[in-house]
Structure 1
């Protein structure tokens, strides 16, 4: 209940219902001075209702305010419950538990401090409230003559009278062994967060100080030595009693939240991993006047829950917020916690951190960050580890928690209400240990989330500054904390005016972007720059253009400075120059090897690049506003790259690429530049070109052949002589992959070094046989060899015969491949020999087009051909294939035969292929292609397209008994389906067909406009086998043709792989199509339609999803309209919350972007 003054603050009133009052009584609500929560003062309640014994709502008791450790806080009162009427219960008060303390019996009394009050379970709160509550508002007066009796406890102290007597027994008599053991085992190690541990330490220090003074007064008859020992025992046992009482009473929701978010607080992200995100973020619905639900107003286990989510509609937007991450900065003396960022200065808009999300976007984001955001929201609401959110934002936080709960995200509030309500199931430490903490987001999830966050201009959003700690992780902070965390402001202030003050440089320092970007014109300017950067350890990114001709002394001095930089990302732009003789001999005719050495031996960076200036190019030193890719946002856009080195953390191996001029020299010098091969996770040496052309790539494995970790602890230590590549990988048991792509004519000595595992060579097949054979013989660990012909005409069988003996003698080679040059508009020909070292196990795969010469391949290796894929074939080659297929002994009969674009194959060749397919014992016959594929320069008129469609229909009719897979892209007029329908009804007799892929950019037609496709699905599914099924109009025709008989259907295989792309399907067609499919055997069901889904259609599809299937791999149904449908809630009710991460081995199930 509120009353608002338009010129003043809002006033709140709490409504009470008393048995003797006709009307509701309104009591003024105030802000608690320490908890900063709205509450009703207890003395106001006792004044209005003198005989009140407790306050409750229906049958739920309302306790007094307590802090996060369940201690009652003064001033006493109860929490404000808006829109709720609380009931006042009258009754007879319990007698005061106090009595005069007696001095006999040798018992020493112990007076406790007021904040020693311990939280209780709900039933204990009720007992406590039966006492005289009015005494809580009066100062505690403890008569030293009072004594405690068994089972009686003082107001404001824990309900542990027996424990008090046991404590006194231990202090005076020493106690027995069992008693001491009982107390010792009750001490529990708390899984609290760092922020709460710090607060608890401060409380314990104050408590120990007060207790020491009181205990000294009560132990005056003991000598000084015994008194000191008694004080230590007293403090120790008192702490044990507190933990014991806390355990018995059960933990609070704050404890539960602390447990759930503990891994989030421990997580650390480097610049490369964070993708520009603060560690703490959330989204809140943009709702004006959102009513507060019961769930959002009570934080105790007795919370009243509701399934309604008021205010969130289909057009509701969610504002996105980052929090200041200023906690536990190494070296900082400031005690701070992450906090909500309010509006700055005179800004009138809310401090949002990015563009708002739509409700549909939030639904897609929940599987990625939903649980993580729930943890942040609950920390904000309850002030656990994060500063409590301001009261005016509390309603939106509670509403978001409710919304996430409705989407299946677990909250601590709901967990307390559902599982731990009541004394029997109170939350205890053993139960807490069974609840898994929230898993922090990994770098991949943060990158995926980054793609959803729109930040067009960073200045338009809340100001957060990136701060790099001494440990290398990135924190995003508000301006005040960013300044306060700096070890020294002077260099940062100087950097802001460096380009104006210095006559040797130009550029800009932007703390807001975390970058200092400069063009330095002289060595004097470079010295000033590096002197400042040496003290600016918090700046993540340094971009520098060294815009003068560097001499050898300059380069050496710069290398020493670069080796000491501590930034996360360093980009260097240099001028093109003639390399020194030393660099040329080392294989770096681009120069700057000293700078590369400094970078490779610097352990601090995450990304390091060196590029050369391109001729006639100007570079913008402030071109870093595009934050979509955090690693590429700041680099100067030069395409002439000399070096790139990347790693996500300091301890990770480097993924490095270097431009070299001599592979043989570079592979020897690089480990000396870096300190050994063990610092790399991948090393790529580019020859002539950084990204393409000849290159050597070494992928260093993390696991040896023996299964042991091959990390830096087993590698060569610094200071020890660096091993060459061969000895290095030999010591690692050849677990690394060393691949090279080169031209044989370049004569790289590395080809014969004996350490290569994968080789791709560009050859001309002209007098190169000896070199190829020597390569095979030299590299005993060679697993794969590919020869790429630079000429379109070559004889693959002759090339193999040249290397045949060397391959047979090789101990490890598994694949020998010969490929032709890539050509536009046709497949690349490939001839692959698997197991070429074993004449018995050797098999051959062929992918060819009409330009290839394969006649000799058929003659020499015809019976060994296992896979044959053809897009074109000459008549000579086809004739040789036909002769081989007619042989009775070892005929040509591959397991897999694929024909692509049958309408482009000349008629005579097509007839031979039809004969081979129909008469051969081929297991898989695949017919695929697109009607739109036509010879270059040929006009695609109606006559040509109709003729091509007729060829498709005739070929399918001729080979129908053997075809197992059909993948066809028809034209928008469905000419192939029309041609198939004009064929005899026997064209539907495809008994071995199990895979059907059909695509067509439909404009006006629908899927079943031509009944041929529907009849085929009917025959290949369970509908034709179910005699109770309602007869379609054309079923009688199928029966008369003998296609729907029981015998025929029993011999026919059903569809297991079904895909439709760019088609139009009506709701009624969906109903029929689902009836034609047997989803118990489906492995892939993939439909992407151009029309939108009706909600009822989507739910109808959801009913047939075979979730328990052991063979299903993909069930993907989506429209191409990107429209939001209204079936999401129903899908969530059926399948649970939407998923985004599919476990390895699990099926991919998605219904219009709803992932199951």
Structure 2
């Protein structure tokens, strides 16, 4: 119903709407607002249940008074009885009755024996006839019972209207007790007989009957008098009570006026606090409910920063202080099981934290985010199913004994440490011309952390973990598709250890890899039997979110159908599929032109957000893709980077996936400008907010002229590339594409020098472009490929060293004609401390040179893969490097 609560007066159908407010994490309706719409409200009911006023934790009613918001329900309002109006109406009616009806009845009926003054029969008959217009005894009897449905005023009015004689008489008689009804009807019969006798001339007989009738009626006159006296006593008492009530009501109104004045003062003070609280809550809502796709959410996002030692904090020299980052477990309603026995509120991860390198740069980048998180923890929130506890509960008691002494100290130093960091951020922001409000506005503008920010966060941490599972946290996905990172206790709360163990054993038996922290599986299947074994295990593995699958046999359409059926039973959101580039076996020849239709079905499955396919180059020819009306709106990331698309297929896929935010595309290896233009137009017209080409490859399109290259530069310039591959020839035209890139998103760069003579100016332009780029971003992967005969040395110095001297890489691949001396020079680069993978083309180096290279890489402590293609590597060297956690190989397959 939007942001209002619906009410109606009990017993009616007219509905009124009243706005609700947010107080202490609850949606409430103020009682004052209800009284404005329904004056005199006594209480509110939800069906047969009264809705109580809200109370605080001390069981005191919250001031101002309010009730809880009931979404989707119409509440009934019950009013207090209006004593003043009711008594006034009764008094007026009784005055009319007592002053007219009773006296008239008594006057007309106080007759005993006939005398000389007795009117003639005609007069008596006329008098008797007129008496029939008076209300009968039943009217007063019914008043005594207080059950008549007519007011006294209505009865008196009817009594004065001759036209309603019969109706009034019947009404009053029917309201009498049964014994009085018999008497009245008998008297009425006598009266009718007298009238008829008078008309027939039987006067004497009429007189006798009249006497009998009057004697009977006179007995009821006293009863009527007594009843009237009793009614007047009741009216008098009721009037006195009404007067007392009015006096009391006046005093209550005076007190209410004073109370309202005090409440206005309190509200004035609360409004300022509530405004700031609402602004912060909006920021927290944005932060906690932002949806991340799996491929954009590589590490935990909730963390706090505290001083390493609060006792040594120096407020005068802020730059001298040291900080430590602690990740938080994002548990909540999504981690609860039916019989859960552990708390499910945000808490510090079971980890001693990470020292922060370059804190000044860190706070420039993440300061507003950290400030918002600390405010959230300080004031407490319940947003999007995430409960923020009191600070004393942020460190779980059962976690204290399982981590280092550094985490134990947080219990006592948590709040002062948070205040010190918040002051630090606010002072640093003030120096930059910002304010605390400015920081909140940044969060209001939805400047939360993106995938690129999260990936770069790790570069500021002085990590000692052998694995990349930061904070010992595990990645999970809620039923709404939100990614959450939780501790092992909350991870296993919803994931039975028995099922997890069975799945791990299956993956290990297939010689695959299962990273349980992020829910990623990589496995190569050699046959249908192995595939069936994995598919069965996947059905019970609820924590697999990323799947890299290699089907290493000549697959048929039936194999793809079995894969499609298996994936529908899983939570896989990121799928990387690698297939053979064949048309399938002869036994499947009848399905050849629909061979990949099940794969298309996988692409449009609602849970698949990221899809990558490699291998088959005849994908569109061996499927009914272009003749279908598919909807790929579920896709956020599409990687077709090893697939040569025709212009029609590429533009079709782009138009049918309106939700794409990233696209890895290697489809521009086209020989005709017209075909390439169709794809470029489709990319340029993509209307999805946030759409960007993530991966782009410009292959050996030497026939494409300057206008086409300019068009490519325009599209690339509007994109947010994280991967770019450029095949260079002997001119400077392609270097212009490097100049148009938005470097802040770039993470992977490939440069390939084709055969030809490269002028110094071309190489200088290339080196300048890469050098400028490396000053703005931290590349994670650099691949440099060169065909034989291309010179690699500039007059100014070594080309490769010029490339790499300013880069901080995790993955370096060099397929160039590199000498042993150049190799040793590269290994000596200090920035290789972050290097995780190194692949070199080494021209048959002998084992002695391999030893020299290994010695030169001693400072590359995070290196886990080293490939020296063509080198003579001994088994002993492999064992030595494996003991240090590095896999050493002598052959490089995936150039």
Q: Do both share a fold (TM > 0.5)? A: no
**TM-score class, shorter:** 0.3 to 0.5
TM-score by length of 2: 0.40
> Whose helix fraction is larger, Structure 1's or Structure 2's?
2
TM-score w.r.t. the length of structure 1 is: 0.32
